[in-house]
């Protein structure tokens, strides 16, 4: 029976069973060829259905073993295949006993991707009088990632509350400093008015007196210029500190929910980025069939602005350190639908997946677990606030963000991946009205 006839005969049943599971399911025939997969396989492996169907499961799980078998001309279809994994498959079929493999590494180096750590099980079954193997895969880091996300969120909230207390203590005297500086300016303005009054000063005809008076006026003018400069510095620095503290405190404004096409705020920010960083090559990989999502457009613009600016600044700093004149800063933005994705403790059938990848200097592994904390940054000129603001906004949207970074001689890369539900919980929507 061909793979096509199998699909037509069994797909309804397989789809009903397999699509209800959160794990990745592959149906493999007795020659170890993949004949059916569910959507979770594509999500887990980031490989399309067309690239997997009709391929040997060994190509995915044991490519070196498949290459050995292909070059061994002594093997015939009547012989039992040799090799560690194939032997386990056929022993499982012979004895009708499933087996489980832990901590298996799938190497995507040929596709310029990182490796994937998984657990998988193989269960021999007989379906419609034909032998098959059901291969079930799940990401090794799935539960640990959820736990780590929760731990980081708790740490983030503790750090945020501490920073709120500090910020309030600092913000109060800042208002007094600014007020005093403004009063000084007013006093200087009064002095200037007196100086401009011809009756305020009676000039003597005596040359010495005239000279002395001129010197006094010159000294006063220089003093006033200095004092004006000092007060300008006070005012500008207090404004800057107030803005910084405002970022630490975050916005308490309620979200203005509306249905938006995610590519609209993206393109809005990209227009700004392109003008500011003309040397950065931008690659768009959009899924234009994405449904609209419920979100605050202005807040998402802030998210994209922070992430894209960080990426471009990282590449700019990295380019200045390069001796290779051929280095080309490159920014890739990809939008997709992620199926059966867990955010926090909530399982979603579909969420928006948006990835922003740059080829800058990368992020040190020691910083990856702390990069979203306030005041933590990998850039020399960074403030450490942009990513904490991003995480705060995404948290209000019931989304999440992940970061992966590698530093290698062949090239660095940093990828921030955002996950946003297409709809918001009713309790969030009830608090505010739509625009």
Decide which of 5 and 368 is more confident: 368
Q: What is the pLDDT of residues 150-193, one digit of tens each?
A: 666 666 665 666 666 566 556 666 776 777 777 777 767 766 66
Strands 24-29 and 130-139: antiparallel
The answer, yes or no, to whether residue 359 has pLDDT greater than 80, is: yes
pLDDT reported for residue 10:
44
The answer, yes or no, to whether residue 403 has pLDDT greater than 80, is: yes
Encoding tokens for residue 144?
């640990």
Asked if 358 and 414 touch (Cβ cutoff 8 Å), the reply is: yes
Decide which of 327 and 379 is more confident: 327
Query: Could you tell me which residues come within 8 angstroms of residue 155 by beta carbon, excluding any fewer than 6 positions away?
Result: 373
Cα angle for residues 201, 204, 210 (degrees, 5° grid): 90
Q: Mind spelling out the 3-state secondary structure of the chain?
A: CCHHHHHHHHHHHHHHHHCCCCCEEEEEECCCEEEEECHHHHHHHCCCHHHHCCCEHHHHHCHHHHHHHHHCCCCCCCCCCCCHHHHHHHHHHHHCCCEEEEEEEECCHHHCCCCEEEEEEEEEEEECCEEEEEEEEEECCHHHHHHHHHHHHHHHHHHHHHHHHHHHHHHHHHHHHHHHHHHHHHHHHHHHHHHCCCCCCCCCCCHHHHHHHHHHHHHHHHHHHHHHHHHHHHHHHHHHHHHHHHHHHCCCCCCCCEEECCHHHHHHHHHHHHHHCCCCEEEEECCCCCCCEEECHHHHHHHHHHHHHHHHHHHHHHHHCCCCCCCCCEEEEEEEEEEEEEECCEEEEEEEEEEEEECCCCCCHHHHCCCCCCCCCCCCCCCCCHHHHHHHHHHHCCCEEEEEEECCCCCCEEEEEEEEECCCCHHHHCCCCCC
Encoding tokens for residue 147?
């736990």
For the chain, what percent of residues have pLDDT higher than 70? 64
Taking each helix axis from N to C terminus, what angle separates 297-320 and 263-276, rounded to the nearest 10 degrees? 30
pLDDT reported for residue 3:
45
The answer, yes or no, to whether residue 107 has pLDDT greater than 70, is: yes
pLDDT reported for residue 182:
76
Its sign, for the CA torsion 185, 190, 193, 194, is negative
pLDDT reported for residue 61:
92
pLDDT reported for residue 57:
94
The answer, yes or no, to whether residue 410 has pLDDT greater than 90, is: no
Q: What is the pLDDT of residues 192-213, one digit of tens each?
A: 665 655 544 444 445 545 555 5
Encoding tokens for residue 137?
């895969």
- Predicted confidence band of residue 5 (pLDDT cuts 50, 70, 90): very low
Question: How far, in Å, CA of 351 to CA of 336, rounded?
Answer: 9
pLDDT reported for residue 197:
53
Q: Around 167, how many Cα atoms within 13 Å sit in the side-chain half-sphere?
A: 17
pLDDT reported for residue 77:
41
Question: How far, in Å, CA of 402 to CA of 404, rounded?
Answer: 7
Asked if 93 and 30 touch (Cβ cutoff 8 Å), the reply is: yes
Count CB atoms within 10 A of the CB of residue 194: 10
Encoding tokens for residue 315?
């590449």
Decide which of 74 and 102 is more confident: 102
Question: How far, in Å, CA of 401 to CA of 300, rounded?
Answer: 13
Question: How far, in Å, CA of 393 to CA of 21, rounded?
Answer: 31
- Predicted confidence band of residue 215 (pLDDT cuts 50, 70, 90): low
The answer, yes or no, to whether residue 114 has pLDDT greater than 90, is: no
Encoding tokens for residue 353?
């997946």
Question: How far, in Å, CA of 47 to CA of 324, rounded?
Answer: 33
pLDDT reported for residue 346:
83
- Predicted confidence band of residue 69 (pLDDT cuts 50, 70, 90): confident
Q: What is the pLDDT of residues 22-68, one digit of tens each?
A: 788 999 999 999 999 988 898 888 888 899 999 999 999 998 888 87
Q: What is the pLDDT of residues 275-318, one digit of tens each?
A: 889 999 999 999 999 999 999 998 899 899 889 998 999 898 88
What rounded mean pLDDT belongs to the chain? 77
Asked if 31 and 55 touch (Cβ cutoff 8 Å), the reply is: no
pLDDT reported for residue 80:
46
Question: How far, in Å, CA of 217 to CA of 213, rounded?
Answer: 6
- Predicted confidence band of residue 122 (pLDDT cuts 50, 70, 90): very high
Encoding tokens for residue 327?
């280095």
Question: How far, in Å, CA of 248 to CA of 163, rounded?
Answer: 7
pLDDT reported for residue 351:
94
Question: How far, in Å, CA of 109 to CA of 111, rounded?
Answer: 5
């Amino acid at each position: 029976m061909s793979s096509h006839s199998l699909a037509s005969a069994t797909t309804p049943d397989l789809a009903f069973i397999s699509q209800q599971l959160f794990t990745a399911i592959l149906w493999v025939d007795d020659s170890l060829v993949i004949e059916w997969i569910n959507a979770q396989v594509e999500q887990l492996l980031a490989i399309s259905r067309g690239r997997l169907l009709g391929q040997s499961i060994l190509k995915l799980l044991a490519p070196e073993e498949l290459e050995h078998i292909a070059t061994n001309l002594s093997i015939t279809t009547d012989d039992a295949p040799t090799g560690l994994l194939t032997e386990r498959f056929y022993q499982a079929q012979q004895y009708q006993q499933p087996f489980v493999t832990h901590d298996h590494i799938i190497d995507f180096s040929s596709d310029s991707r990182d490796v994937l750590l998984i657990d998988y099980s193989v269960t021999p079954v007989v379906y419609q009088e034909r032998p098959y193997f059901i291969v079930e895969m799940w990401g090794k880091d799935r539960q640990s990632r959820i736990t780590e996300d929760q731990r980081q969120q708790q740490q983030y909230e503790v750090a945020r509350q501490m920073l709120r207390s500090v910020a309030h203590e600092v913000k109060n005297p800042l208002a007094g400093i600014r007020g005093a500086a403004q009063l000084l300016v007013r006093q200087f303005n009064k002095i200037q008015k007196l100086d401009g009054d011809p009756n305020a000063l009676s000039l003597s005809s005596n040359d010495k007196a005239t000279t002395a008076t001129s010197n006094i006026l010159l000294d006063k003018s220089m003093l006033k210029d200095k004092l004006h400069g000092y007060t300008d510095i006070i005012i500008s620095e207090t404004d800057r500190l107030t803005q910084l503290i405002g970022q630490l405190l975050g916005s308490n404004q309620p979200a203005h929910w509306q249905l938006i096409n995610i590519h609209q705020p993206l393109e809005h920010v990209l227009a700004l980025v392109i003008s500011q960083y003309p040397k950065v090559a931008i690659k768009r990989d959009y899924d234009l069939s994405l449904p609209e999502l419920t979100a605050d457009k202005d807040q998402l613009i802030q998210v994209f602005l922070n992430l894209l600016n960080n990426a471009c600044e990282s590449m700019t700093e990295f380019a200045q350190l390069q001796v290779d004149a051929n280095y080309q800063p490159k920014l890739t933005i990809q939008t997709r639908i992620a199926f059966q994705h867990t955010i926090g403790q909530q399982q979603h059938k579909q969420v928006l997946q948006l990835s922003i990848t740059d080829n800058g200097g990368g992020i040190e592994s020691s910083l990856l677990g702390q990069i979203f904390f306030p005041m933590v940054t990998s850039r020399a000129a960074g403030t450490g606030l942009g990513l904490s603001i991003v995480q705060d906004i995404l948290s209000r949207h019931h989304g999440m963000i992940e970061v992966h970074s590698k530093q290698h001689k062949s090239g660095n890369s940093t990828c921030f991946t955002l996950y946003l539900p297409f709809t918001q919980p009713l309790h969030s929507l009830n608090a505010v009205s739509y625009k």
